[in-house]
Structure 1
Amino acid sequence: MKVVVDEEKCVAAGQCVAAAMDVFDQREDDGIVVLLDENPPAELAEDVRTAATVCPALAIRLEE
């Protein structure tokens, strides 16, 4: 799985961090998503899928 984020779409809701904190973080100054691991391990796949699903801006895309 490869994770791609679109920072331009991000609305800084933080749902991705809540769902998969090992893969996503937020910039301190504006809360925009920071991708920590674009190729997360298989054991985090479900959390990453959840993060993509709950993102209100649809700023996370998964390539499987």
Structure 2
Amino acid sequence: MSVTVKADACVGAGQCALVAPDVFDQDDDGIVILLESDPQGADRTAATRAARLCPARAITVSEQ
């Protein structure tokens, strides 16, 4: 699995950091920060859920 983010598309909703805190964080402006680009186990499921919840579609999850 590969996770990528488009920080310039992020609107700062914060759903990603709430749903997958080991994979995503937010900077001082609320913009997404990717902590783990290849999550494992439960973090994989959480990252996929975060991508679905992102209102800006700033998160992409793909299988390698």
TM-score, normalised to structure 2, is 0.93
1:48 aligns with 2:47: yes
1:34 aligns with 2:36: no
Cα deviation code 1:3-41 (max 9, x no counterpart):
00000110011000111000000002x110000000111
Cα deviation code 1:24-59 (max 9, x no counterpart):
00002x110000000111331111111000000000
TM-score, normalised to structure 1, is 0.93
Amino acid at match of 2:54: C
Give the alignment's Cα RMSD to 1 decimal.
0.7
Identical columns (%): 48
> Structure 2: any 5+ residue segments left out of the alignment?
none
The number of aligned residues is 63
> Structure 1: any 5+ residue segments left out of the alignment?
none
Partners of 2:42 and 2:52 lie apart in 1 by 17
